[in-house]
Amino acid sequence: MDYNELFSREYTPAHATVPESAESVLKLMGARNGHFDIEKFKATGAAAACAEMMENTIVNVDEHSPESIAFWAKRGMVKEIHGEDKPMDWAGYLATHEMEAEFDPNNTFPQNLVKKWSSFVPVSAFDPANKDRKYPLVFVLHGAGNTIYAIDSWGFVTSAAAREWIVIAPSLECDVVIEEILKEAKELYPVDESRVYVAGFSYGSRNTNFLAAGHPEWFAAAAPCGGFIKNPYNGMYPMGFKRPAGPAEPWYACIPNEEFKHEMPIMSVIGNRDGFPFPVYDSPELDSMADALSWWGAKNRTAVPSKEEIVALKEQSQSFAERALGLPLAAGCGKVETDRGTDFAIGDFKDENGVVRMKVVCEDNHPHWPTPHLSEIVFDFFDQFARNPETGESIVRK
């Protein structure tokens, strides 16, 4: 199908339970930054690549449909949907976490009411010949207001299929539910417990930060995308479940685990037309970005630039990657990749042993939307790390 036709359609997974808020794909893409060049997006091939990635969810609006399930079966993945009959006990969650906020079930998206999750498991995992094989698992967290069906169209499952990894897409992203799902997934599927990862986009990016900081023992690496990495103490406590306009998303409390002394590798991929994140030295979020780099840099024993060094770069000679990112980079730690019509400026930050434990990536002329290459970069980063389930030690695989 022609991408112009696809992009003119409503993208229901973004707000599938509030049909009147469904908008066309291109309108959603350009909503956060008026400088998004749609014509360049179409001309470079980036639009066609994104359309191919999203076609299944746009054409097959029912995630339970045989067509949607068959789509993944043809790509070697068994898709299953779990937990639709398991209600979330919000009163218990709030009490346990000592929150004063109230949860109003009449002022929220229906997907926040049940412990629903989708799994995508390589078909080879069901072959008796592979009974001793273990598979890496990636949690992928959805954006605000999204149903988990949106994740079918974000590229992560496609990248997982190519590598034969498991993907889990949870509707609720709080730690108690993630822990419950992880336990159940280990009972159902042959999970490699040393290689469990977490990634998210937009609102899922925020929760990726909190989960990675609060429960680093669960994950070998993390990738908050569609939003810069954050100091997990920044905005940690809930702002309340009732918001002035529209249905509310829960704000989860997940206190950073300061007792956990091992590294937590982390990376972020954001479009430079996703709000105004880049260059960092000109971003309105400069203070919080520098604060986040500092916090995660300390966690990973990784050298990162200070706010003063970031600001000073603006008046200095810069490499192409430094200019795109607005971050000073050590020699050999900046590069640019071009994939399907989009340039990706990549900044690496190494620990004292030369291991890249932090990475920041800027997608040129890309809005608040994943690209096919986003998940590929994330999975390449994940593939470098494992975690000893017994000791918690961060293991460098490659």
Concatenating the DSSP letter of every residue in 7-48 gives HHSB-GGGSTTSGGG--BHHHHHTTS-TT--HHHHHHTSHHH
CA distance to 83, 232, 331, per residue, from 206 (Å): 23, 9, 30
Within 8 A by CB and 6+ apart from 336, the residues are 320, 321, 324, 343, 344, 345, 346
Q: How many residues does the chain have?
A: 398
Name the pairing type of β-strands 191-201 and 166-170.
unpaired
Tell me 242's DSSP state: -
Q: What angle do CA 300, 303, 307 make, to 5 degrees?
A: 110
The whole model's pTM is what?
A: 0.92
CATH 3.40.50.1820 assigned to domain 10-389? The reply is: yes
pLDDT for 105-123, tens place per residue? 666 677 788 899 999 999 9
Neighbours of 94 (CB within 10 A): 18
Check residue 24 and give its pLDDT.
62
18 or 49, higher pLDDT: 49
272 or 248, higher pLDDT: 272
pLDDT over 70 (residue 14):
no
Name the pairing type of β-strands 334-339 and 342-350.
antiparallel
If you average pLDDT over residues 123-141, what whole number do you get? 97
Per-residue tokens: 335: 């590069």
If you average pLDDT over residues 212-220, what whole number do you get? 94
Check residue 91 and give its pLDDT.
78
If you average pLDDT over residues 203-226, what whole number do you get? 94
CA–CA gap between residue 154 and residue 140 (Å, rounded): 10
pLDDT over 80 (residue 214):
yes
For the beta sheet containing 166-170, the strands, ordered from the edge strand earlier in sequence to the opposite edge, are: 77-82, 117-122, 166-170, 135-141, 191-201, 221-225, 266-271, 356-363, 342-350, 334-339
Min mean pLDDT across 18-32, 78-92, 197-211 is at: 18-32
pLDDT for 167-183, tens place per residue? 999 999 988 899 999 99
Check residue 256 and give its pLDDT.
82
pLDDT over 80 (residue 381):
yes
The sign of the dihedral angle between the CA atoms of 41, 47, 50, 51 is positive
What is the share, in percent, of the chain residues with pLDDT greater than 90?
60
Min mean pLDDT across 16-20, 188-192, 363-367 is at: 16-20
Burial letters 261-278, b for 16+ CB under 10 A, else e: ebbbbbbbbbbbbbbebb
CA–CA gap between residue 46 and residue 62 (Å, rounded): 26
pLDDT confidence band for 20 (50 / 70 / 90)? very low
Domain ranges of the chain: 10-389
Helix (H, G, I), strand (E, B) or coil at 71: helix
Question: What integer best gives the mean pLDDT of the chain?
Answer: 87
If you average pLDDT over residues 141-158, what whole number do you get? 90
pLDDT over 80 (residue 11):
no
Per-residue tokens: 230: 């954050």
pLDDT over 50 (residue 22):
no
Q: 């975690």: which residue's tokens?
A: 387
CA distance to 1, 158, 221, 291, 324, per residue, from 47 (Å): 13, 17, 29, 34, 21
Check residue 81 and give its pLDDT.
96
Name the pairing type of β-strands 166-170 and 135-141.
parallel
If you average pLDDT over residues 145-173, what whole number do you get? 93
Name the pairing type of β-strands 191-201 and 221-225.
parallel
If you average pLDDT over residues 331-355, what whole number do you get? 94
pLDDT for 301-335, tens place per residue? 999 999 999 999 999 999 999 999 999 999 999 99
Check residue 34 and give its pLDDT.
66
Neighbours of 221 (CB within 10 A): 27
